[in-house]
Chain A
């Protein structure tokens, strides 16, 4: 719409900017660690069915002769109550968690950003109406709202995703609106008006690109939070249903065997912990490089 087909000359600064970002991300040890973890998680998510030692165990049938075995050379994370390899299932769980998180956050962004930008840039009644609706959503605790919506829609993974997106978008709307209000008063927006740019193009061509930086930071931190929320919903039985190898669901099932089989709840739990931590640290790192004032060259 805005001519994203860049010819090489116009593309060059973007490449330079990307190189600078990667350089800055590498500067901070914690950020680098989190970035490597996230890249590994993405690799696991993509390759899970191929590198899992027992692919048939992922959704698979029970083999009771191997049930609840402790970690060993054969099953490095042990087995669950149906004799399935926990390692294979945790590995595949990465794919499910990342998929859920990215889709939920993406959907929330898709709703939140345009609404916030329109509200902030237009002002008046439009702003008032959009923001009051947003306030209604914000007045519920997000997890509670997600639980209510998931329960209403019926328990499965897609509905959990939808529920998370619905409870999450108002935060982006508010963030973007705040930015948009200040950017609306900037000279370049007035200049764009003075040369006859239509309102729609001012909102999405000038205002949105200028308030995207804090949204990216927020979204990358939220990925962790959304993974946690999705796991919570599954734990409560409102998200993924068995035999889906979802981390929250695995932890939930393992509660019954917790005293004799620590590995069953420990490894999915650790997977949730590492993933959420990695995304939060990455978000922190991104904030540092997006804001030139906290940048350390």
Chain B
């Protein structure tokens, strides 16, 4: 495991009238070159904030990066100046946004938009850029590329648009792709198509993908490893097999149960629907209020991410007990 991409002790918050609200508190996250890492969490858990922070696009007046490091190829992205970051965006790290319906500029043809991005990053003339744009459209498996090139975004379907967006994201040769819920607002058939495309492109272009989703099922289909994000903290991480087959954290267990499927037993959703009302810091485990297995210790101190089984890391006292690990606490 080489350290291709690493996040250490990242704390991000937002300034509000009630003081600083903590959004992200990541102890540790590492992604290896060439793998697909899935980040799963409910809405509001900080997934998109993480994506924006990596790219340096977090609006800084309300947002605050309190501490931490984001190491990419050995360099700390948080220490880079805006000008340096701009050169990394697109060329090294690229992003696919949630909503394919609004990510394209409505007043230009998609061809114009792809060509512009290509010309922006490579000093080639228009004819060459047009050729490259055609190649990119063929790469994302859209038929009749020539015809697509002259279409306006509103003339394309959601799936077609998302493919175009992927083409644009990859057209500057990015090697690290952040996909922030790329299949949101798409129906299941198109979802499957987009997921297949991302998997194929990964093989072809050898890109590393950070796949952000709120659906554990989706992630298990495309990813090598997953991290479960809960209120800004990673509570469990490991290979897909480890996490899905043998979930250690009660939150993961509930998430897995909540996937709608054909099953006989009724699922109790009351726990997962519970929310901490005001999100104040109690010093204890953030999952305490919703946890079915909570005990006295959980309200006093917060568990830190600890390996339980090879690459499988978890942050839960109960899980430690079960695996026979000495209690480890973090502040």
Tell me the A residues contacting B by CB distance below 8 Å.
2-3, 5, 7, 9-10, 12-13, 186-188, 190-198, 201, 205-206, 209-210
Contact = CB atoms under 8 A, between A and B. Distances in A.
Contact of A187 (B90, B102, B121): B102
Given A10-B150, A186-B102, A196-B91, 8 more contacts: A9-B111, A10-B130, A10-B149, A188-B106, A190-B57, A191-B168, A194-B57, A201-B120
Nearest to B108: A209
B94 interface: yes
Contact of A191 (B97, B108, B130): B97
B64 interface: no
B89 A13 contact: no
B102 to A, nearest CB: 4
A210 B152 CA distance: 14
A2 B120 CA distance: 10
A188 B102 contact: yes
A195 B126 contact: no
Interface string B210-237: 0000000000000000000000000000
Q: Which of B104, B107, B119, B149 has the most A CB atoms < 10 Å from its CB?
A: B107
A167 B327 CA distance: 74
Nearest to A183: B105
Contacts of A193: 57, 89
B70 interface: no
A13 B151 contact: yes
B90 A7 contact: no
A3 B120 CA distance: 11
A13 B105 CA distance: 15
Contact of A196 (B88, B103, B119, B149): B88
A205 B116 contact: yes
B116 A194 contact: no
B149 to A, nearest CB: 7
Interface of B: 55, 57, 86-91, 94-95, 97-99, 102-109, 111-112, 115-117, 119-121, 126-127, 130, 146, 149-152, 165, 168-169, 172, 174
Nearest to A213: B107
A191 B96 CA distance: 8
B165 A191 contact: yes
Nearest to A207: B105
A148 B83 CA distance: 45
A3 B108 CA distance: 12
Contacts of A192: 105
Contact of A3 (B55, B88, B121, B126): B126
Contacts of B119: 3
Contacts of B109: 10, 13
Given A3-B119, A194-B57, A196-B89, A9 B105 contact: no
9 contacts: A3-B112, A10-B149, A191-B95, A192-B105, A195-B168, A196-B87, A196-B90, A197-B120, A205-B116
A209 B104 CA distance: 13
A22 B130 CA distance: 30
A5 B126 CA distance: 8
Q: Which of A12, A192, A194 has the most B CB atoms < 10 Å from its CB?
A: A194
Contact of A198 (B86, B99, B115, B146): B86
Contacts of A12: 150
B90 A195 contact: yes
A205 B115 CA distance: 13
Contacts of B111: 9-10
Nearest to A197: B120
Given A12-B150, A13-B152, A193-B89, A209 B120 contact: no
B251 to A, nearest CB: 30
A7 B97 CA distance: 30
A198 to B, nearest CB: 6
B58 to A, nearest CB: 11
B150 A13 contact: yes
A192 B90 CA distance: 9
A194 B94 contact: yes
Contacts of A197: 90, 117, 120
Contact of B89 (A195, A205, A206): A195
Contacts of A194: 55, 57, 89-90, 94-95, 97
Contact of B172 (A10, A186, A195, A209): A195
Given A2-B116, A191-B97, A194-B97, A7 B152 contact: no
Contacts of A9: 111, 146, 149-150
Contact of B103 (A10, A191, A205): A191
